[in-house]
Amino acid sequence: MASGFFAVLDDITALMDDVAVATKLATRKTAGILGDDLAVNAEKATGFMAARELPVLWAITKGSFVNKIIIVPVALLLNAFLPAAVTGILLLGGIYLAYEGAEKIVHYLFHRSKSGHEVIKEAVVDDPNAEKTKIRSAITTDFILSVEIVIIALGSVADKSTATQILTVSAVAVLATVGVYGIVALLVRMDDAGLHLIKRSGEKGFATALGKVLVKALPIVIRILAVVGTIALILVSGGIFAHSINFLHHLFPSVPAIVKEFAFGLIAGLVAVGVMEIGRAIIKPKKGTVDSTHNHTS
């Protein structure tokens, strides 16, 4: 009886050792996408009034956990019974990310009449649903990035037992969410930390100097994150296309992978933006038609 109990403990210990090693490997393989995830979500979590930043970030974090709860079991089931579907889902996600990245570039180049943060602040004041809209957008983008993270983590343990796959992918999903949004929380509250240092030090000494640096650095960091987040969206989408479509993977072998992936993502994004604009133009009723209908009704 006792020997059986200790045998079970030994099996559990061996499994945990395998999971720890596999999680370390999977985390290393997903490091690039985690960096992109951080940049994208930090950019999406900024632009709100200071009092709303942490509540908004917490709402996005909860949405991210829900995303993982949905994605992990579905990915494991599809990988076991319908592996071809995983590639299709990745490609659809890649198109969405490419669209988001390209839309930001197009908006910046052709539709920018005010700075991004002025527009966001006005939207928060004028439209009570603006905050919810941005949260939904952030959670949707997180869903796509989470799919990529989970698929990469799953691929790194494809030759392991089912139990190891489940535990490893679950561990990576939790670590990704806690790590990414924990760092984002630190970034968006950087100015508050700086003000706290200034007040606590009596506006003297090294702590005050550091606090002033943190306060002044936040707007710069936010602008950098906006640019990096947009580039990350395009690179992640291009990477999905390059690794999922064999023709693209072997196209232009002498060109650096990062250049090809950015080009693939940007081209796909611009095409998606064009299709969406055409779709909106078709669906949106013409002003004359609306006016004539209104007059006829009157």
DSSP assignment string, 85-147: HHHHHHHHHHHHHHHHHHHHHHHHHHS-SS-HHHHHHHHHHH-TTHHHHHHHHHHHHHHHHHH
Q: What is the mean pLDDT of the chain?
A: 76
40-90 confidence digits (pLDDT tens): 666 666 666 666 777 888 888 899 899 999 988 988 888 888 888 888 888
DSSP one-letter string for 51-66:
HHHHHHHHHHHHHHHH
Residues 196 and 193: their CA atoms lie apart, in Å, by 5
User: 292, exposed or middle or buried, with CB in 10 Å at 0-12, 13-18, 19+?
Assistant: exposed
Residue 266's pLDDT is what? 94
Tell me what the mean pLDDT of segment 82-109 comes to. 86
39-54 confidence digits (pLDDT tens): 666 666 666 666 677 7
Q: How confident is the model at residue 118 (pLDDT cuts 50, 70, 90)?
A: very low
Residue 25's pLDDT is what? 58
Residue 117's pLDDT is what? 43
144, 97 in Cβ contact below 8 A? yes
Residue 49's pLDDT is what? 63
Q: How confident is the model at residue 36 (pLDDT cuts 50, 70, 90)?
A: low
243, 249 in Cβ contact below 8 A? yes
Terminal C-alpha separation, the chain: 88
CA distances from residue 11 to 25, 70, 118, 157, 161 in whole angstroms, order as listed: 21, 29, 58, 19, 13
226-261 confidence digits (pLDDT tens): 788 788 888 888 888 988 888 888 888 899 989 999
Q: Is the Cα dihedral 37, 40, 45, 46 positive or negative?
A: positive
Instruction: Name which residue leads in pLDDT, 99 or 288.
Output: 99
Instruction: Name which residue leads in pLDDT, 130 or 146.
Output: 146
Residue 115's pLDDT is what? 47
Most confident stretch, 137-151, 202-216, 270-284: 270-284
Q: Which two tokens stand for residue 97?
A: 């990310």
Tell me what the mean pLDDT of segment 107-135 comes to. 60
Q: How confident is the model at residue 265 (pLDDT cuts 50, 70, 90)?
A: very high
Residue 12's pLDDT is what? 56
